[in-house]
Amino acid sequence: MKRVILILMLLIDLVFISMVLIGDPFRYDNGWTFTLSAYFLLSILLSGFFLRKTKKTREIWPYLTVSVLALSLSSLGWIVFMKYLFIIIG
């Protein structure tokens, strides 16, 4: 079950990053920004929790957990950076 959750989080992160890199005209209104930021924070917390549990159990894959953590951090960083630019530019 934990592996399925991590794979779904990884797929959502990959879809978001691919949309950003392709140049899809994604609107950063407050609803989407809040929803995506909350999702990325939740996935950072869950992957950190799963990464901490990898020392105790062998059923969680540490490379999958680290990749979800890295992609969630980068996606959240992109949203924060774009929101900061929108505030500065006006």
Give every CB contact of residue 19 below 8 A, 6+ residues apart in sequence. 26
Q: How far is CA 66 from CA 16, 22, 36, 84, in A?
A: 18, 24, 20, 27
Domain positions in the chain are: 2-89
Structure tokens at 15: 């879809």
| Confidence (pLDDT) at 46 | 92
Per-residue pLDDT of the chain (90 residues), as tens digits, is 788 999 999 999 999 888 888 877 666 677 888 888 999 999 999 999 988 887 777 766 788 989 999 999 999 998 888 888 888 887
Q: Global pTM?
A: 0.83
| Confidence (pLDDT) at 54 | 79
Please report, to the nearest 10 degrees, the dihedral formed by the alpha carbons of residues 79, 83, 88, 90 taken in order.
Answer: 140
| Confidence (pLDDT) at 31 | 80
